[in-house]
Amino acid sequence: MIPTGLDRIDLRGIRARGNHGVFDHERRDGQEFVVDVAVGLDLTGAGENDALEATVDYGVLSQQIHDVIVGEPVDLVESLALRMVDLCLSHPPVQWASVTVHKPEAPITVTFQDVSVTIERSKQ
């Protein structure tokens, strides 16, 4: 839950193919990951002054998230989500971030729609 007093920017459904996973075939063949990001920050200055520097450029942030998905492989979706939440918090105006990583092609033997991990962190 976003802390009181913060505004929010959401990016939903960032898709890319990554080679994350514990199994050899996941690393070798890769699979699609879908990421939802929410960042909490004070948007008063951006709104009042129409100033990009007072907010987070969501075009830049979405590319950075994409680059993490296609970047250095990790075993766990939890590790991938933590990398992304730390990336979000590296943007100075961001005080809180939530990242959900969906792994719709997870190697599960039962019928399922989605597997996801959500990590939320704040600077406070």
CA atoms within 13 Å, Cβ hemisphere of 63: 4
Work out the burial of residue 66: count CB atoms within 10 Å of its CB; fewer than 13 is exposed, 13-18 middle, 19 or more buried.
middle
Q: Which of 33, 38, 103, 119 is catalytic?
A: 103
Tell me whether residue 103 is one of the annotated catalytic residues: yes
Query: For residue 3, what is the DSSP state?
Result: P
Active-site annotation, residues: 103
